[in-house]
Chain A
Amino acid sequence: MVTVVGVAYRGQIPLQDIRIDFQVEAVTPPAASGFGVRKTVSLTGPLSETEQLRLRRAAEYCPVGQLFTKGALAIEDQVAYSAQGTAPEAVVPAGLVPQPLLDALPTCPPGAVHGRYLGDTREYADSGVLQQEGEVKLYLTCENLTRPGRWTILAGHSSAGWMPPPVPLAYGALAASTVTTLRQFVSRDAWPPAGFHVEIIPQGAGNRDHAQAAAAAGALNARRAVRKIVLHEAPGVSPVQAIEAALQHDPLSLSFRRGGVLLGEQIVVT
Chain B
Amino acid sequence: MTQPTDILREPAERQFASQLAALAQHDPDSPPSSWKLSPRSVLAYVVGTPKPLVLTVNGKSVTVPITRKFFGDDAIVERAIVTLASERALLLVGEPGTGKSWLSEHLAAAISGCSTLTIQGTAGTTEDQIKYGWNVARVIANGPTPDNLIPSPTMIAMRTGALVRFEEITRCVPDVQDALVSILSDKHIAVPELPDANMVFARPGFNIIATANSRDQGVNEMSAALKRRFNYIHIPVVGDQKTEIAIVRERSKELLERYHIPGRIEEPVLDVLATVFREMRSGTGADGQTFAKPSTPLSTAEAIGVALDAAIHARYFGSGAVGVADIARNLVGSVVKDDLADLAVLREYLSVVAKKRALKDPTWKAFHDAATKAVASAS
Q: Are A and B physically bound partners?
A: no
Residues of A at under 8 Å CB distance from B? none
